[in-house]
Amino acid sequence: MLNVENLSTHFFTKRGIVRAVDGVSFSLSRGEVLGLVGESGSGKSITGYSLMGLVDSPGKIVDGSITFDGQELRSLDARGWRAIRGKKIAMIFQDPMATLNPVLRVDTQMIEAVLAHDAVPKAQARDRAREALSLVGIASPDARLESYPHQFSGGMRQRVAIAIALLHKPALIIADEPTTALDVTIQGQILAEMQKLCAKTGTALLWITHDLSVVAGLADRIAVMYAGRIVEQGATDQILAAPAHPYTVGLLDSIPSRNVRGQPLRQIPGAAPTPAETTAGCAFAPRCSQKKSTQCTQSAPQVSMHEGRALRCFVPWVHHA
Ligand code: ADP
Ligand code: MG
């Protein structure tokens, strides 16, 4: 349904070119959940914005293709994008107030969102709004429709934003860290409900997060992003059981777990490269415990298949049983 091939989105700033997304490829089938994971600044949001046609100057998609339902999205004009955005592809942002208008009642906003794409009577639009609110687990949706965003808790507000994303039963939802600001219990509830909803409706989900443990129980597949590139991509259970990229190994090691209780948490040494930094070698090499000096610092690894996953690494991690 979605096929992203060699997507590159760069920012042309006074201080140089920022290669925020640099040759990213992945695909998504109907009903599939892909977790896009990586540290802050690795290019996850810009990947999502690129798929929604939301990249603004000085940013620009400079290469690659995005095909969705057989259509090349890069060739769409503003009108073409309006027909797709919110209708076939919807996005949920970290801050629900990016979606909600603080001065309008929830019903006003939801009805407007329905009418933006479907010319239906207002009463019918309201019914759809009510239905969407119950779908995301909001009790007494009729009364809640008459509330303003500030009358909801943070978790409930995010549920409303999710309900708005669901209004048109999109084929694809891009969720950009929608639960990061919420407490762990609420986060777990929303995740579980999203997963159920998508399975039921056949909606594909691109779930963006900096927290690998969030997608561990949610995604069918995981794509690990580092410095604008996907460095490892494959089935979730395979990646969790035997991560191949040293960066994925580091991410997994830095998740607190009960098995290592009482021991200091391991962390990946060093920091991610600043966006305008470029290197001829692998971007992760400076932090990598596995690197082979000349190979890894002088050329960038291309994507190759390794034990069922797409990997950008010259020296995949070897697991010792
Ligand atoms: P993530 O979501 O993984 O935290 P982003 O996709 O938001 O990261 O950003 C990727 C990179 O693109 C970052 O290094 C960021 O500094 C850069 N970037 C994002 N927006 C702009 C912009 N408007 N101008 C210049 N650089 C930008
Ligand atoms: Mg982001």
| pLDDT tens digit sequence for 64-115 | 999 999 999 999 999 999 999 999 999 999 889 888 999 999 999 999 999 9
State the DSSP code for 274: P
Neighbour tally for 266: CB within 10 Å: 13
Ligand 1 in reach of 40 Cβ (< 6 A): yes
| Spacing, Cα 176 to ligand 2 middle (Å) | 7
Ligand with an atom nearest the CA of residue 24: 1
* SS3 state at 201: helix
pTM (whole model) above 0.85: yes
With a cut of 90, say whether residue 203 has pLDDT above it: yes
| Spacing, Cα 228 to ligand 1 middle (Å) | 9
Tokens 């909001």 -> residue: 138
| Spacing, Cα 277 to ligand 1 middle (Å) | 13
For the sheet containing 204-209, what is the strand order?
89-92, 172-176, 204-209, 33-37, 221-226, 229-235, 309-311, 304-306
Enclosing H/E stretch for 200: helix 184-201
Gap between the Cα atoms of 142 and 139, Å rounded: 9
* Residue of 257, 265, 285 whose CA lies nearest to 273: 285
> What CA–CA distances, in Å, run from 258 to 97, 215, 254, 263?
36, 18, 12, 10
- Atom 15 in ligand 1: residue holding the nearest Cα: 41
Ligand 1 in reach of 41 Cβ (< 6 A): yes
pLDDT in tens, 232-252: 999 999 999 999 999 999 999
Q: Please say whether the beta carbons of 208 and 174 come within 8 A.
A: yes
What pLDDT shows up at residue 217? Answer: 85
Beta bridge partners of 174: 91, 206
- Pairing, β 229-235 against β 59-68: unpaired
What pLDDT shows up at residue 197? Answer: 84
State the DSSP code for 169: -
Question: Which is higher by pLDDT, 263 or 133?
Answer: 133
Question: Span 286-305, mean pLDDT?
Answer: 90
C-alpha torsion sign, points 181, 50, 200, 209: negative
Neighbour tally for 204: CB within 10 Å: 23
C-alpha torsion sign, points 104, 106, 107, 113: positive
> What CA–CA distances, in Å, run from 307 to 193, 258, 304?
32, 28, 10
What pLDDT shows up at residue 230? Answer: 98
pLDDT in tens, 41-62: 999 999 999 999 999 999 999 9
What pLDDT shows up at residue 108? Answer: 97
Ligand 1 in reach of 174 Cβ (< 6 A): no
What pLDDT shows up at residue 280? Answer: 87
Question: Span 279-287, mean pLDDT?
Answer: 91
φ/ψ of 111, rounded to 5, equals: -65, -40
With a cut of 80, say whether residue 277 has pLDDT above it: no
Ligand 1 in reach of 50 Cβ (< 6 A): no
Q: Percentage of residues in the chain with pLDDT exceeding 90?
A: 71
What average pLDDT does the chain have? 91
> Based on the number of CB atoms within 10 Å of its own CB, is 248 exposed (0-12), middle (13-18) or buried (19 or more)?
buried
> What CA–CA distances, in Å, run from 240 to 59, 208, 222, 230, 236?
34, 17, 9, 16, 6
What pLDDT shows up at residue 258? Answer: 60
| Spacing, Cα 85 to ligand 1 middle (Å) | 21
| Spacing, Cα 215 to ligand 1 middle (Å) | 22
